[in-house]
């Protein structure tokens, strides 16, 4: 069974978590919520959704998963300050397995120093961060560059989900 790691912390964007996770589960994929502390309950930024962390990121290996989803909101900004989270993202990205990021999710890729030369999109507020990391920013609903699928914001979710599902099917 395909296992998808979802790396989140508090103040994640609810729809950027719930909609892809729902679509992945409908396809029979297993979701493992990763965070900084196992069994911790993290809340979305609008307090409409909470998620229990299945495993602490410091206790997992990249080989345990087939893909990585990083939702946006303020969660990526919090996670980028944690060396284990950044190290996991770096190692995962370099493994060439699919990495799905939306909105502020690319901030973790910037912290992991892996997007130099990559085509990417994200929320308009992080455009300069992506450019400063030497990525090519494209203002499109979805950008696919090798193992990386990126999207801008919740209004782009269906295009993002479809691109992620297509990437998982290959």
* Catalytic positions, written as ranges: 103-104
Domain boundaries, the chain: 3-169
pLDDT digit string, tens, across residues 92-149 = 999 999 999 999 999 999 999 999 999 999 999 999 999 999 999 999 999 999 999 9
Q: Which CA distances in Å does 40 have to 33, 36, 60, 87?
A: 10, 8, 16, 21
- Say what the pLDDT of residue 59 is: 97
Please enumerate in sequence order all residues whose Cβ is within 8 A of that of 26, keeping only pairs 6 or more positions apart, or say none: none
| Fold of the CATH domain 3-169 | Rossmann fold (3.40.50)
Contact 56, 36 (CB under 8 A): yes
- Tell me the angle at which helices 157-169 and 14-26 cross, rounded to the nearest 10 degrees: 40
pLDDT digit string, tens, across residues 64-101 = 999 999 999 999 999 999 999 999 999 999 999 999 99
């Amino acid at each position: 069974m395909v296992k998808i790691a979802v790396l989140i912390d508090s103040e994640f964007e609810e729809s950027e978590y719930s909609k892809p996770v729902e679509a992945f589960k409908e396809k029979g994929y297993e979701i493992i919520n990763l965070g900084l502390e196992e069994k911790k309950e993290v809340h979305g930024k609008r307090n409409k959704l909470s998620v229990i962390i299945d495993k602490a990121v410091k206790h997992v290996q990249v080989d345990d998963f087939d893909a990585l989803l990083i939702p946006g909101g303020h969660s990526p900004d919090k996670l980028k300050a944690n060396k284990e989270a950044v190290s996991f993202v770096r190692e995962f990205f370099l493994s060439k397995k699919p990495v799905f990021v939306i909105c502020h999710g690319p901030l973790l890729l910037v912290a992991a120093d892996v997007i130099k030369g990559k085509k990417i999109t994200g929320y308009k507020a992080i455009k300069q961060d992506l450019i400063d990391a030497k990525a090519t920013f494209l203002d499109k609903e979805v950008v696919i560059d090798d193992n990386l699928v990126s999207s801008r914001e919740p209004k782009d979710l269906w295009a993002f989900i479809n691109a992620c599902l297509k990437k998982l099917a290959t």
